[in-house]
A = this chain, B = another copy of it.
């Protein structure tokens, strides 16, 4: 990817998810996605390695924001408070276009094992990024790994709530993610 061109990237993602939803993931070609987005195939390949990569658009950005938020949490913050700071920072990167895509993305992923696999590895990557950021704060590795897993669960639950369920548009993604993290924190105490 030569340069960051958010408008083209977003147009390609919307075109792809529309086509996945209309005709299925397997039947959709890069040429069709480029045509729908009004760009050439070579422009497509400047933005994405293949059609599957479309679905993890922004993953590097998410990892960076989660890491930054965790790193910049106050020195006295516990692991889950640092994770909360990461979730807040990362939530700021997702806007109305991401929200509108949620339900269609979900349908496309549900219909394709290949996309489920890519999605599962994405979660592993987010957890690894948060674990590393927590370990860098001095959190013991196992505690860091647990806190990161809770962070991934909270982000996914928050995103689902924001984009699929809560259609009244009064609550932001960050609030949903932090509420989910708080629910998970409560559930953790029920475990031990």
Q: Are A143 and B183 in contact (CB under 8 A)?
A: no
Given contacts A117-B117, A120-B120, A123-B120, contact A142 B191 (CB under 8 A): no
Instruction: Identify whether the interface residues of A are mostly helix, strand, loop, or mixed.
Output: helix
12 CB < 8 A contacts A-B: A78-B191, A116-B124, A117-B118, A117-B120, A120-B123, A142-B183, A142-B184, A146-B184, A146-B188, A146-B191, A189-B192, A192-B192
Contacts of A118 in B (CB 8 A): 117
Copies of this chain, how many? Answer: 2
- Among residues of B, the one whose C-beta sits closest to the C-beta of A190 is B143
Question: Nearest-CB distance from A118 to chain B (Å)?
Answer: 6
Q: Considering the chains assembled together, what is the distance between the CA atoms of A140 and B189 in angstroms?
A: 13
Q: Please determine whether B187 and A142 come into contact, CB atoms closer than 8 angstroms.
A: yes
Interface 1/0s, chain A 176-192, versus B by CB < 8 A? Answer: 00000001110111111
